[in-house]
Amino acid sequence: MGINLDRIGGVYLLPVILALIAFVFIGQFSSWATLTVAGLSMGMMIFLMASGLSLIFGLMDVLNFGHSAFVSFGAFIAATVLAALGAWLAADSALLNMAALFAAIGAATAFGAVAGWAFERVIVKPVYKDHLRQILITMGALIVAEQLILAIWGGVPIQVQRPAILTGSIILGDVSIEIYRVFAFLLGLAVYAALYLVLNRTRLGLLIRAGVENREMVEALGFRIDRLFVGVFMAGSALAAMGGSMWAGYQGLITPAIGGELMILVFIVVIIGGLGSIQGSLLGAILVGLMANYVAFLAPKLSLASNMLLMMAILLWRPWGLKPAVKG
Amino acid sequence: MTAVVSSSPATPRRVPAGRLAVYGVVLAIGLALAFAPFLFPDVRAQEVAARICIFIVLVASYDLLIGYTGIVSFAHTMFFGLGAYGTAIALKALGPSFTAIAVGGGAGLIATLVLALLIGLLSLRVKAIFFAMVTLAAASVMLVLASQLSDYTGGEDGITYQIPRAFAPAFKLFEDADGKVVRLFGVPLNGRIAAYYFVFLTSLALFLFMLRVVASPLGSVLKAIRENEMRAEAIGYKVVAYRTAVFCLAALIAALAGILRAVWLKYAGPDVVLSFHIMIDILLMVVIGGMGTMVGAVIGVVVMTLAQFYLKDLMQIGADATAGVPIVHQLLEPDRWLLWLGVIFILLVYFFPAGIAGTLMNKEWRR
């Protein structure tokens, strides 16, 4: 039984099984399809945020509790850029629309990369290999970052404009699909593909994977893994900021609490998926996204608790997560 | 874990001056708290004193985890909240009586024990960092549940309720011949005094109990686990069992502190017993005071509580002085006090990982 399951996909079947179970409960194809698309796109956005965290941990044994600060900053920077380019967004031309959107996402991502570099050098570097102080210091950094957001943007919720071309929905039969969700899904998929190719097809990726597997050995072979790590940290932070900017457009209204709210989901994803692997993060993110949407439809009050229960169940079954790249 | 300085002094016969100073300060704080209603008769100071008592228990119990055993949990406010909400809901439903406190508090304690056992057995087997994430997720789910199950918890608004008459300001503890309340040093001996001493004495008992725990053989095992988990396991101590036990113990003490808070405040809501800000406060207090020293909890709580009042005043002055400068002015806004506390926190973790108490206590034999 176990062997057969592995041959047809193993743990990757879980989202499919979840979707099928949800279909039985929902019973109506159109709402099920809408929810599935929503879940997949939400999963992809969370994947953006989670993959960086997971890789950073896998490579350097550093868990950044301040990761969500990049998500919040990404969201707010994207909102500011979009507001500044309001004329382009409302314009009839698809080109200008997309230019504004990519400017916003690009600004957020660039900020994530630069801030990630500074964060790594100033905050994380002095406390390598000391988990207790890592947790404390990144937590302190999170407090400071949240307060900075409050100081810069104020405590009031900010309206985020969406480009005209991505508003509205496509109607297929009696299934309506929001265009923005499709876009979010495709962007997430593209990032996953890029990450996958870099990690599996390039020399850099080989080094990163080797570093996740056994850092000392790679260092012994003469590679400067700490430099590599700064790069991974920057990339992870940039991805988090990108996820935050996408999320800002998805939600339409953002508050300074956005990072904190998402961090819980991101943590659940990383725990479910197993630390250090992007496949695990993708799997976990999609499970969490689907679960959140199905349960929000079936029993709204249980939405967040359901993901907690999912995490508990998976931890009972596999204490290291579904697809861990590092153990111990 | 180099973060926490341990090991006995190199010259055991001489008591280091720093250590004496720390104990002196803690004793002074203890005496001030013991006579707080008479030393600081105004209502606000009493609120602060009661808050300090309760937080000393809460922070010391957290120190059992983070300082003595090396477990990082973010679920401590969850247990604090369970105790407080249990008491609050029972007092609301059953009316103001000591039975209600016992029933509600008992229910809160049982819920705490079950949850702590579940989380502990499920995830204490794995790395510290994994555990921190699991507890963080659990705590936020509890926070969401508390605000969503508004039929029971009052949602964001929380619950207000009556406490037993013996603790109300109108209650006369001692009456003189005219039926008026007896005054001692000009302070009326009313129910509020009774409530304060209920809080103070329970806190004191819990704190002394924790001091006893860390001085017991159990305390030594916990420190052994913190210093070297593998070696502790190899000597024959079941690390998972000890960790789970101390996690449950700390959780139960936190829940008891929650009961005290609920009884004292006559109110339970997410902001005062469950929110993430309280967790951050606890973390700051433990680190500022000094991890792995019970007395550090006392110092940390007092310093933080006073800082919360005076840092704001200081920042108001700064904000007024820089009213014209755009960004600096916003950064010095009194509402941003947490920003500066966060910066101080980071610097402390870098340069004084042993905290105030730990640094002072090691002062003499370091040189």
- Domain limits, chain A: 28-158+171-317
Our separate counts of H helices and E strands in chain B read 17, 4
Q: Which residues are CB-neighbours of B25 under 8 A, at least 6 positions away?
A: B299
pTM of the model: 0.79
pLDDT digits (tens, 9 = 90+) for A207-244: 888 887 788 888 898 888 888 888 889 999 999 999 99
Q: Quick: pLDDT tens for A79-97.
A: 888 888 877 777 777 788 8
pLDDT at residue number B173 = 67
Average pLDDT for B141-167:
79
SS3 state of residue B75: coil
Cβ-nearest to A143 among B126, B128, B280: B280
pLDDT confidence band for B67 (50 / 70 / 90): confident
**pLDDT the model gives residue A9:** 64
Of A59-63, B64-68, B109-113, minimum mean pLDDT range: A59-63
**Residues A165-168: contacts with CB within 8 Å, 24+ apart?**
A165/A94, A165/A97, A165/A98, A166/A97, A166/A101, A166/A249
The pLDDT tens digits for A260-289 are 778 888 888 988 888 778 888 999 999 999
What is the phi/psi pair of residue A299, to 5°?
-145, 85
Q: Is A151 in Cβ contact with B330 (below 8 Å)?
A: yes
Which of B240, B274, B308 is the last residue in one of the domains?
B274
3-class DSSP assignment, residue A169: strand
Identify the pLDDT of residue A209: 82
Rounded to a whole number of angstroms, the distance from the CA of B232 to the nearest CA of chain A is 17
Tokens of residue B236, six digits? 């024959």
Cβ-contact A109, A34 below 8 angstroms? no
For B219, residues 6+ apart whose C-beta sits below 8 A from its C-beta are: B68, B213
B209 with B72, same domain?
Answer: yes
Could you tell me which residues come within 8 angstroms of residue B56 by beta carbon, excluding any fewer than 6 positions away? B203, B207, B297, B298, B301
CA–CA distance, B87 with B254 (Å, rounded to integer)? 13
Number of domains within chain B: 2
A35 touches A22 (CB < 8 A): yes
CA nearest B126: which of A104, A39, A57?
A: A57
B206 with B354, same domain: the answer is no
**Helices (H) then strands (E): counts for chain A:** 14, 4
Both B174 and B264 in one domain: the answer is yes
Q: Are residue B167 and residue B308 in the same domain, yes or no? A: no
When pLDDT is averaged across residues B19-27 and rounded to a whole number, the result is 84
**Residue A302 has what pLDDT?**
72
Q: What percent of chain B has pLDDT over 70?
A: 86
Which amino acid type is present at position A111?
F
CB pairs under 8 A between A and B: 111
E strand or H helix at A130, and its extent?
none
Closest-CA distance, A304 to chain B, in angstroms, reads 6
- B235 and B175 within one domain: yes
Among B342, B346, B350, beta carbon nearest to A147: B342
CA distance A25 to chain B (A): 23
pLDDT-derived band at A6 (thresholds 50, 70, 90) equals low
Q: Specify the amino acid at residue B128.
A: A
- Rounded to an integer, the average pLDDT of A52-75 is 84
The distance from CA A113 to its chain's CA centroid, rounded to whole angstroms, is 15
Residues B323 and B354 grouped into a single domain: yes
Interface contact flag, A137 B350, Cβ < 8 Å: yes
Band (pLDDT 50/70/90 cuts) for residue B186 is: low
pLDDT at residue B29 is higher than 60: yes
DSSP A158: E
Which residue's structure tokens are 């994994």? B130
| Amino acid B207: pLDDT | 93
What fold, for A28-158+171-317?
A: ABC transporter involved in vitamin B12 uptake, BtuC (1.10.3470)
Whether residue B251 sits in one domain with residue B137: yes
Query: Chain A: which residues have CB within 8 Å of chain B?
Result: 57, 63, 65, 123, 126-127, 130-137, 139-141, 143-144, 147-148, 150-152, 260, 263-264, 267-268, 270-271, 275, 301, 304-305, 308, 311-312, 315-316, 319-320, 328
Q: Which of B140, B149, B336 sits opposite A147 (nearest CB)?
A: B336
Question: Which residues on A lie below 8 Å from B123 (Cβ)?
Answer: 315, 319
Do the chains contact at A135 and B132, CB–CB below 8 Å? yes
Q: Which residues from B are below 8 Å from A130, CB to CB?
A: 1-3
What letters, b where the CB count within 10 A reaches 16 and e where it falls short, cover B335-350?
ebbbbbbbebbbebbe
What is the pLDDT at residue B318? 76
Mean pLDDT estimate for chain B: 81
Q: What percent of chain A has pLDDT over 90?
A: 15
For residues B332-341, give the mean pLDDT: 76
pLDDT mean over B106-115: 91
d(CA A91, CA A97): 7
Neighbours of A120 (CB within 10 A): 23
Would you call B146 helix, strand, or coil by DSSP?
Answer: helix
Read off the pLDDT band of B1 (50, 70, 90): very low
Q: What is the pLDDT of residue B182?
A: 67
What's the confidence (pLDDT) of residue A327? Answer: 46
Amino acid, single-letter form, for residue A90: A
Q: pLDDT-based confidence at A162, cuts 50/70/90?
A: confident
With 0-12 CB in 10 A as exposed, 13-18 as middle and 19+ as buried, what is B277? middle
Predicted confidence band of residue B177 (pLDDT cuts 50, 70, 90): low
Most confident region among A129-138, A169-178, B204-213 by mean pLDDT: B204-213
Measured between beta carbons, the chain B residues lying within 8 angstroms of A270 are 133
The nearest alpha carbon in chain A to B118 belongs to A312
> Residue B240, exposed/middle/buried by CB under 10 A (0-12, 13-18, 19+)?
middle
- In this structure, are B270 and B298 located in the same domain? no
Least confident interval from A13-17, A110-114, B301-305, B363-367: B363-367
Considering only residues A146 and B362, tell me which one the structure prediction assigns the higher pLDDT: A146
Give which of A285, A323, A291, A283 is closest to A307, Cα–Cα.
A291
Chain A: give the shortest CA distance to residue B141, in Å.
Answer: 6
pLDDT at residue number B248: 92
In a shared domain, residues B63 and B146: yes
Secondary structure, 3-state, B8-38: CCCCCCCCCHHHHHHHHHHHHHHHHHHCHHH
Per-residue confidence (pLDDT) for residue B70, from 0 to 100: 83
CA pair distance B306, B48, nearest whole angstrom: 9
Tell me what the mean pLDDT of segment B233-258 comes to.
90
pLDDT computed for residue A12 by the predictor? 76
Closest C-alpha to A267, from A57, A85, A124, A26: A57
Report the distance separating Cα A132 and Cα B131, nearest Å.
12
Nearest to B70 among A132, A139, A275 (CB): A132
Whether the predicted pLDDT of B169 surpasses 80: no
Residues B21 and B122 in one domain: no
**Residues in A touching B336 (Cβ below 8 Å):** 147, 150-151
Is B220 an interface residue toward A (CB < 8 Å)?
A: no
Same domain, B194 and B292: no
pLDDT of residue B283: 86
Assess B276–A contact: CB distance below 8 Å, yes or no. yes
Whole-number mean pLDDT of chain A? Answer: 83
What is the structure's pLDDT at B357? 79
Q: What's the pLDDT tens digit per position in B275-322?
A: 888 888 888 888 888 888 888 889 889 888 887 777 777 777 777 777
CB contact under 8 A, B276 and A140: no
**In Å, how far is B5's CA from the nearest CA of chain A?**
13
When comparing pLDDT for B165 and B75, which is higher? B75
Tokens of A60: 């350097």
Range of the domain at B312: 1-34+276-367
Q: Are residues B228 and B333 in the same domain?
A: no
Written as one letter, the residue type at B262 is: A
What backbone phi and psi angles, to 5 degrees, belong to A254? Answer: -120, 145
Q: Looking at residue A159, what is its pLDDT? A: 83
Sign of CA dihedral B308, B310, B312, B314: negative
pLDDT confidence bin for A8, thresholds 50/70/90: low
